[in-house]
Amino acid sequence: MTWFDQTEFERLRLAQGVTWGRPVRALSQTTSTNDEALAAIASDALSGIVWIAREQTQGRGRRGNHWVAPAGDCLMLSALLRHPGPPERMLGLSLVVGLAVRDLVSEVFAEQGIEKDACIKWPNDVYVEGKKLAGILIETRFDKSGQLGVVLGLGLNVHTLSFPNSLPDATSLRMLGVGSSSLGYETLLAGFLRALEKRVSRFLTGGISRFIEELNERDALRGKSVRVGDITGQGVGMDEGGRLLLETEGGKTVAIETGHVELLR
């Protein structure tokens, strides 16, 4: 039996009216699904093609970090979005992908009767109970006609039962109590793509401001002390442009457009 059943995925895709995932390129091993998708931007690959891998040998995270996961433990995928508009309009897209992950996770929790909630940790992580369940890596490249191609990369911990000491704040669906009936990659992928295509199409027509209220309700950093670069403050939400708002000790509110957030204990 193969690790990813294309027939089963296609059945779920059609039953749920999902248009992305036509096709899904399922790989037992690759360097990185983002590499596969970025390379496809040079060809005529269409929006909605998805690469999914059982194992990555050079998985990437943000800021040059590695994304390491034992083979078969993690949902690792990249979806391609062609010609979505100019790069400056893509700000906030990782938050929108985060909301799609949250949609999927909420559905899985509801199916399993689990009363837990997933939150978005600005700008690209999904947290449950203070631990990282998923990370998002968005990469872009221009094609030969000068049009933008965007790769939406997701790593969602699924089967992992324990993480190395270097990742004390990581969790997986399994560790959160999700039973195996909801953990099939075909089911998870179809559910994620269903949420993703809705969220992304709304983002492309209306921008990030349409999601801010929801993001502020699900903000993992609200009330937390954090440091971003040389700014330290308390998370007080996100502004209309999806920027992180920090209130500094002097009572000033600072809007942050990019950077790595360090949670202070």
Q: For residue 155, state whether it binds ligand BTN (rule: CB under 6 A).
A: yes
Nearer Cβ to ligand BTN (67/163) = 67
The binding track of 129-148 with respect to ligand BTN, each residue x by CB under 6 A or -, is ------xxx-----------
Cα Rg, the chain, nearest whole Å: 18
Which position has the token pair 């440091």? 227
**How many residues interact with ligand BTN (rule CB under 6 A)?**
20
Backbone angles phi, psi at 172, to 5 degrees: -140, 165
Rule CB under 6 A: choose which of 24, 40, 76, 189 binds ligand BTN: 76
Q: For residue 30, state whether it binds ligand BTN (rule: CB under 6 A).
A: no
Which position has the token pair 């969220």? 199
Rule CB under 6 A: choose which of 21, 48, 59, 242 binds ligand BTN: 59
Q: Is 148 helix (H, G, I), strand (E, B) or coil?
A: strand
Nearer Cβ to ligand BTN (58/248) = 58
d(CA 199, CA 215): 13
**How many C-beta atoms surround the C-beta of residue 205 within 10 A?**
8
Q: For residue 60, state whether it binds ligand BTN (rule: CB under 6 A).
A: yes
- Calculate ∠ Cα 54-106-67, nearest 5°: 30
Query: Which runs of E-coded beta strand occur in 86-147?
Result: 118-121, 125-128, 131-142
Nearer Cβ to ligand BTN (100/114) = 100
Chain residues in the site for ligand BTN (CB under 6 A): 32-34, 56, 59-62, 65, 67, 76-78, 125, 135-137, 153-155
